[in-house]
Structure 1
Amino acid sequence: MASIVYFLDAKGKSLLSRDYKGDIPYSAVDKFPLLHLEAEEENSAAPPVFNYKGINYLYIVHNDLYILALTRNNDNALEIMLFLNKLIEVLTQYFKNLEEESIRDNFVIIYELLDEMMDYGFPQTTDTKILKEYITQKSHALIKFNQQQQRPPNAVTNAVSWRTDGIFYKKNEVFLDVIESINMLVNPNGQVLRSEILGKIKIKSQLSGMPDLRLGLNDKGIFGGDRSNGNGGGEDRTTKGLEMEDVKFHQCVRLSKFENEKIITFIPPDGEFELMSYRLSTPIKPLIWVDCRVKLHSNSRIEIKAKVRAQIKKRSTANDVEISIPVPEDADSPKFQTSSGSIKYTPENSCIVWKLKQFQGGKEAAMIAELGLPSVTNEDPTFKSKRPISVKFQVPYFITSGLQVRYLKINEPKMQYQSYPWVRYITQSGNDYTIRL
C-alpha cells in the first residue's frame, strides 16, 4: 500500500507529509511537478497514476491541492485512490473547507488523523463519526500520571467499526430516501440525444443497540446475471428488470451475502449515510420539456417565446421548476409576460430565469420575453454562444426507474423492539439537464 502521503500546493510544493514505511526518499516528491507537466503535454490531461524509476505516483486534485501517495510495490491503485478520496471527505467534515490555509492551521489534527486512518500504509478507521469521538478540535487539560487516560472508542477495534456500542433511542425509527437524478441532452425537436439516471438510497438511522437490517427491492433483475465486471447484470428492462451500472455499497453491507444470495443485509451506522448508489443508462422522455423560439427584430431587439410542459403523471407535481434561457450578453430593457410563475433577468449570467413553484403533471405554461440589443451587428447574437437551456426541478413521490422498496426488516437480538421504516421517493434534475436552442 501507500508508503508516503503528501499534501502539495498548486505549484507542487509540499505542505505536509506522513511517511509510513520509510522505503522512498523524500526527494522523490520533487520530481512530481515535472512528471505531471510532462504527462499533461503527452495526454492533454494528466493520468492520475504514473510511474518513474520504480516509484508509483497516485494523486487527486482538490481546491488547488494535490493529495499524493507514493509507493514502490505493484499495489492496488484503486484502493489507494479510494483512501485519498476518503481522506479528503474526512478532512472536509473536520474543517468544512480543505484548502492550503486550513492545512497550515490544523496540521496537528491532520497528523493525528493520518496516524489513525492508516497504519504502515494500510487503511484503518476512516469513519468520521468514530474519529471525532477521540480526535477532536477542542483543547484538553493535561492528564495526571495516575489518572486513567482517555481510550479510543470500542468501535475502533470492533468488527463493526462504523457503529459504537450503547446507542439508545426512546423511539426507534428509520428514514429511507430513494433519490434519482436525471441527466439528459435534448435537441430543439424534442429528440433525446443522451440520458442517464443517477440513483442513491440514503438512510437516516435512529435505532438502539446493534440492529441487523435486511432490505428488499422490487426488481430482482437489477441484481441478476454476472457481476464480475461491476455491472448490475440486468438484461431486457421489460422482462429482466433494470440494467444497473456502477453499483456501489456502503462498507456496512455484507458483500458476500449479496453476491451469493442477492440480499442486502447490513448493520447501519448511527445517523445519516448513503447505503448504495447506481447508474442507469436508459432512454427516457424529458419529464420537463421546454419548447423555445427566438426571433430577432432588426438587430435591435430580441423576442423569446417559450412553452413548458410537465410530461409526468397528472397526479404528480414538479416543485421548484427553474428554467434558464440564455440571451445575448449585451441585452437590456427586459419585458416579460407569463401565464404562470415569475421571470427574472440575470445579466451576470446572461440569461432569463423562469420559476414555477409548483407545476402539475400534464399542465402547460407559456411566457414571452422582449429584450433590447444596444449593440447593432450583422451577426445573429442569439446563436453565437450556442448555450443550451438548463432546467432544474424536483418531483416528490415519484421514481423514474420504477425501483421500489418492498420491505426493510429490522432485527435487534437483545432489545427485540419493533420499528417501521419511513420511505420517501424523489426524482430531480441532475447537473446536466439541458435542451438545445
Structure 2
Amino acid sequence: MASVVAILDLKGKSLIQRRYRDDVPDGAIWRFVPILLELEDEGKMETPCFTKDGVNFMFIRHSNLYLLALSPKNVNCAEVLLYLHRLVQVFVDYFGHLEEESIRDNFVIIYELLDEMMDFGLPQVTETKMLQGYITQESHKLESMQLARPATDVTNAVSWRAQGIKYRKNECFLDVVESVNLLANADGTIVRSEVLGAVKVKCYLTGMPELRLGLNDKIMFDASGRTARGKAIEMEDVKFHQCVRLAKFESERTISFIPPDGDFELMSYRISTPVNPLVWAEAFVEQRSGRVEFLVKVKAQFKKRSVANNVEIHVPVPDDADSPKFRAGAGKVQYLPAQSSFVWRIKQLAGGADHMMRAHFGLPSVRTEEDIAAKRAPISCRFEIPYFTISGMQVRYLKVMEKSGYQALPWVRYITQNGDDYTLRTVTDNGGAPLASI
C-alpha cells in the first residue's frame, strides 16, 4: 500500500503528486532529496528503498525525474517498485517521452491515470490498452458511460483483456526471437556468450480464448519421463507476462494463458550454453607512411539452408583517417567518420558463404604502429537469420480454445539476431606482409 505517489525533479521539487491516505506528514516529500544527499555523504550506496522517521521511501529514477512512493506501513517494496515502473511505461505510451515538460503539459491526464491505476494505495489497472479504453488524450470529451467502465474491468479476473472483442478472421502470430551476445578473441576463443530469447505474440482472436503453448523444455520432459524427439533446451531466468498461469507452469510446465488483444511479449528467457559465432569477421591491417589498408573477411558459420539478412560489419579506423577507398566482393561499404569506422553491408549472406573487401585510408598525422594497435577497437556485427534458432528452441504446439468453438490459425516464426554486444577482437596487424599476398 502506498499512501502518496509523487513525481519530482532532480532538485526535489514536486511536479505532481497524488495522496491516497492521510497517514504521511506533508513535509515528507520535501525531505526526500536532502535524505539522499545525507546518505551519499555518509558513503552509503543509493538504494531504491529506505526508512526515515517512520516513513518508508520507495523510488525509481527515470531520465531527469524521480518517481516516489511513501508509506508508513511495512509494505511490499517489490510490488510498489514494480508499480512505479509500470507507471513510467504507461506515461511513455501516452506521451511518447516522460520528461519534466511532458508532466507539465499533461497534468490533467496524469491525475486521471493516477486515480485509475491506484485506489486507496492499492494498484489496480496497469495495462495501457485497458486504460486507453476510457482515458483518452482529449479527456474532457469523456462521457459518463466511459467513466463507468473501469468498475467491470478492475473486478474482472482478466484485467488485461476487454470483453466483446470480435474479429472476422481469427489469427495468432507467435515469434520466437533469440539475440546472441558474444565476445571472441582473434584466435577464435569465446570469452563469453549468452542467448537471450523472447516469445512475442500478435493476437487477433474473438472473445475470451485460452491458449496453450508447448515448448521443447528439458525440465518438462525430465519430469514426465518422456523422451524428446529432437533437442530439448534448458531455459534460465524465465519471465512471463502476467496473463500466464504460473501455478500451472510450475506443476505441469505448460504455458496456459488468456492473451491480451494485439501485440505483447509472452515470455523471455536466457540460455547460458556456449555458442559459436554465427557470423565471423576478421580484419588484417597494414600501415605504411601516410596510409593504412584493411583486408576484411566475413564468413557465415551456420547451416547452408539458412540465410542471414541485413548483415553489417563495423570495423574501427584511426580517428583522423581520410580519403576512403573501398572494393568489396559483395555488398556496399560506407565510411562513418563520426564513429571512426566503416560499415560493410551485405543484404543477404548465405550459410557457409564467405566474402572479402579491401579499404584504403589516408593518415595525415604521423603515429607509430604501437599507437594504432593500442587504440584498436573490436569489430561489431549485426545480422538477422529468419527460420532459425541458435538454441534449438521449438514450439511443439499452440492450441487455441474458445467456448464458441471457432477455428483459429496459429502462425509460428523463428528469428535469430545479434544482441546488443556481439563483438570480435579480430583486428590484427599483418606482420609487415603486403595484403595482396593473403
Instruction: Determine if the TM-score, normalized by the shorter chain, exceeds 0.5.
Output: yes
Distance (Å, rounded) in 1 between the aligned partners of 2:6 and 2:313:
43
What's the secondary structure of 1:133's corresponding residue? coil
Measure how far apart 1:211 and its partner are: 0.7
Aligned to 2:272: 281
**Cα 1:262–1:170 shift into 2, 3 Å:** same
- Is this contact kept in 1: 2:220–2:253, CA < 8 A? no
Distance (Å, rounded) in 1 between the aligned partners of 2:73 and 2:232:
42
Aligned to 1:291: 282
Aligned to 2:210: 212
Aligned to 1:431: 420
Aligned to 2:131: 131
> What pairs with 1:200-349 in structure 2 (closer than 5 Å)?
200-221=198-219, 241-298=232-289, 300-349=290-339
**Cα 1:100–1:142 shift into 2, 3 Å:** closer
What's the secondary structure of 1:79's corresponding residue? helix
- Is this contact kept in 2: 1:54–1:72, CA < 8 A? yes
Counterpart residue type for residue 159 of structure 2: S
Distance (Å, rounded) in 2 between the aligned partners of 1:263 and 1:9:
45
Distance (Å, rounded) in 2 between the aligned partners of 1:61 and 1:260:
37
For residues 247-298 of structure 1, the C-alpha deviation after alignment (integer angstroms, 9 at most, x for no partner) is 1111111111112221111111111111111111221001111112222213
Distance (Å, rounded) in 1 between the aligned partners of 2:235 and 2:146:
49
Distance (Å, rounded) in 2 between the aligned partners of 1:262 and 1:141:
47
What's the secondary structure of 1:366's corresponding residue? strand
Is 1:383 the equivalent of 2:381? no
Distance (Å, rounded) in 2 between the aligned partners of 1:285 and 1:435:
12
**Cα 1:429–1:166 shift into 2, 3 Å:** same
Q: Which moved more, 1:16-25 or 1:90-99?
A: 16-25
Aligned to 2:94: 94
- Is this contact kept in 2: 1:327–1:382, CA < 8 A? no
Distance (Å, rounded) in 2 between the aligned partners of 1:86 and 1:141:
26
**Cα 1:200–1:334 shift into 2, 3 Å:** same
Measure how far apart 1:317 and its partner are: 0.4
Is 1:192 the equivalent of 2:190? yes
- Is this contact kept in 1: 2:135–2:142, CA < 8 A? no
Task: List gaps (5 residues or longer) in structure 2.
Answer: 428-438
- Is this contact kept in 2: 1:249–1:275, CA < 8 A? yes
What's the secondary structure of 1:109's corresponding residue? helix
Distance (Å, rounded) in 1 between the aligned partners of 2:394 and 2:356:
35
Distance (Å, rounded) in 2 between the aligned partners of 1:5 and 1:420:
44
For residues 53-104 of structure 1, the C-alpha deviation after alignment (integer angstroms, 9 at most, x for no partner) is 3333322222222222223333222212211111111111111111111110
- Is this contact kept in 1: 2:381–2:423, CA < 8 A? yes
Distance (Å, rounded) in 1 between the aligned partners of 2:40 and 2:231:
44
Task: List gaps (5 residues or longer) in structure 1.
Answer: 226-236
Counterpart residue type for residue 169 of structure 2: K
Distance (Å, rounded) in 2 between the aligned partners of 1:254 and 1:318:
36
Is 1:357 the equivalent of 2:347? yes
**Cα 1:41–1:388 shift into 2, 3 Å:** farther
Q: Which moved more, 1:50-59 or 1:369-378?
A: 50-59
Counterpart residue type for residue 246 of structure 1: D
- Is this contact kept in 2: 1:257–1:264, CA < 8 A? yes
Measure how far apart 1:36 and its partner are: 3.0
Q: Which moved more, 1:124-133 or 1:35-44?
A: 35-44
Counterpart residue type for residue 19 of structure 1: R
Distance (Å, rounded) in 2 between the aligned partners of 1:378 and 1:402:
47
Measure how far apart 1:417 and its partner are: 0.5
Aligned to 2:433: none
Aligned residue pair count:
421
Distance (Å, rounded) in 2 between the aligned partners of 1:38 and 1:360:
59
Query: Normalising by the residue count of structure 1, what TM-score does the alignment of the two structures yield?
Result: 0.90
For residues 331-385 of structure 1, the C-alpha deviation after alignment (integer angstroms, 9 at most, x for no partner) is 1111111111111111111111111110001011111111111121346443343
Is 1:81 the equivalent of 2:72? no
Measure how far apart 1:222 and its partner are: 6.7
**Cα 1:47–1:326 shift into 2, 3 Å:** farther
**Cα 1:186–1:222 shift into 2, 3 Å:** farther
Counterpart residue type for residue 432 of structure 1: D
Is 1:372 the equivalent of 2:371? no
What's the secondary structure of 1:180's corresponding residue? strand
What's the secondary structure of 2:148's corresponding residue? coil
Percent identity, aligned pairs only, is 56
For residues 407-437 of structure 1, the C-alpha deviation after alignment (integer angstroms, 9 at most, x for no partner) is 1111111x11111300000001111111124
Aligned to 2:148: 151
Determine which of 157, 160, 168 is the counterpart of 2:158: 160
Determine which of 386, 389, 392 is the counterpart of 2:382: 392
- Is this contact kept in 2: 1:222–1:241, CA < 8 A? no
Measure how far apart 1:302 and its partner are: 1.6
Measure how far apart 1:386 and its partner are: 4.5
Query: Normalising by the residue count of structure 2, what TM-score does the alignment of the two structures yield?
Result: 0.90
Q: Which moved more, 1:375-384 or 1:201-210?
A: 375-384
Distance (Å, rounded) in 1 between the aligned partners of 2:79 and 2:142:
38
- Is this contact kept in 1: 2:134–2:142, CA < 8 A? no
Counterpart residue type for residue 206 of structure 2: S
Distance (Å, rounded) in 2 between the aligned partners of 1:222 and 1:63:
42
